[in-house]
Amino acid sequence: MDLETFRALLTEEGQALLAALQDTDAAQEPVVTADLRRTHRAALVEAAQEQARLRRQAAEKFGGRAQRLYFTPESLELSSHLAVSEYKLDRVLDEIGVVMVDAMGLGGSVDAHVLGWSHMTSAVDGDRLTVEIAEANRLGMDQPMLDLTCADITEFDSQGEAVFIDLMRGPGPGRRPDDDPEYGPEYGPESYDPPLSWALERLHTTGAGWIRLAPGLPDEALPGLGAAHEAEWISYGGYIQEAVLWFGVDAEWTPRPDPVRKATVLPAGASLTGRGLPHPAVRAAGRYLYVPDPAVVHARLLPELAQDLGAGPLEGGGTLLTSDELRPTPFATAYEITGVPPLTATTAPAGS
């Protein structure tokens, strides 16, 4: 969807098309769409059809709000669950405690809107369509205190006490072609707009804020985790959502040589913090098998989880853990092994 088509979608004609398609049963949509094409521009009908489809998909992340918001396929993909944005807002309120925040790079724009619920937020993005979609989403996001600007992020005159930089958009980590076996610089963190090095320098200068990243960023792409105070991997409902580099938490305003690693699982609201443990020795299958939450795996905290569970890595089982006793945990799903051999065993949910 281009900017002109999006603007047309906000007109009375576009809104009528969107309302008609949102209320149409999926089985009847081809007939309704064909009928609408007879009296409306094809491009506008297609845009309304796509928007109705994206809103249905977005309900999983945004609930009833989704029917009042606008998306592109990319912005919906880039958006984490709304609960993740709310969780980060709570951390900002409790641990950073600033009043004014600069949001640089809107991504799916939800984080900036949620910040605007409690903070005066100046948001900037270089893409005009992204900015205008964020503006249109004000009503659906409860009219946040959000000042939007379309400009070069690196030239933005920042006034905030803390800075939030969203680097989820762009080629970035995890988006290299399947036939490229190497993690080349053209798909690394410097391919972001702005580059990760610029974002880190900006946070080191400000002293407080956070950077949102794709969760699959390898350690070699971010030596020392950028000297952040904390690196947190967040999942929701068993699906990894994002990684966050935090600066200035707990009144700490200087970079740390050894950032804390944390895995947070939502909606449970539980966090597992790294303790610098060595990787435990593998072992044969015990009575119970644990499938770790992806936040734990991405944060490389399997040793900590294994220690808490009295478990060890299953021999030949990748990230699976196993033990002889059951210890309930929000950081893994437990199964009771009822057959052998281990990797082809029949399993049943523990306690079933």
Report pLDDT for 329: 98
Do residues 216 and 89 share a domain?
yes
Report pLDDT for 31: 86
pTM of the model: 0.90
CA gap 352, 337 in Å, rounded? 12
Do residues 319 and 208 share a domain?
no
Report pLDDT for 173: 40
Do residues 91 and 177 share a domain?
yes
Domain extent at residue 215: 77-273
Do residues 50 and 169 share a domain?
no
CA gap 180, 298 in Å, rounded? 22
Peptide bond into 330 cis (omega under 30): no
On whether residue 293 sits in a domain, the answer given is yes
Neighbours of 305 (CB within 10 A): 23
Q: Give the pair of three-digit tokens for residue 282.
A: 């593998």
On whether residue 279 sits in a domain, the answer given is no
Report pLDDT for 252: 56
Do residues 24 and 93 share a domain?
no
How does strand 162-166 pair with strand 209-213? Answer: parallel
Report pLDDT for 343: 52
Neighbours of 327 (CB within 10 A): 14
By CB atoms closer than 10 A (0-12, 13-18, 19+), residue 306 is buried
Do residues 130 and 260 share a domain?
yes
Q: How many domains does the chain have?
A: 3
Region of 79 please: left (phi>0), alpha (psi -120 to 50) or beta: beta
**pLDDT tens, N- to C-terminus, the chain (352 residues):** 999 999 999 999 999 999 999 888 877 888 888 889 999 999 999 999 999 999 999 999 999 999 999 999 999 999 999 999 999 999 999 999 889 999 999 988 899 999 999 999 999 999 999 999 999 999 999 999 999 999 999 999 888 999 999 998 765 444 433 334 344 445 577 888 889 999 999 999 999 999 999 998 888 888 899 999 999 999 999 999 999 999 998 665 566 678 999 999 999 999 999 999 999 999 999 999 999 999 999 999 999 999 999 999 999 999 999 999 999 999 999 999 986 554 544 556 676 5
Report pLDDT for 179: 36
Do residues 179 and 162 share a domain?
yes
CB 47 within 8 A of CB 9: yes
How many CA atoms within 13 Å lie on the side-chain side of 44?
21
CA gap 110, 94 in Å, rounded? 20
On whether residue 283 sits in a domain, the answer given is no
On whether residue 296 sits in a domain, the answer given is yes
On whether residue 7 sits in a domain, the answer given is yes
Q: Which amino acid is at 152?
A: D
Do residues 187 and 255 share a domain?
yes
On whether residue 282 sits in a domain, the answer given is no
Do residues 192 and 340 share a domain?
no
Report pLDDT for 227: 92
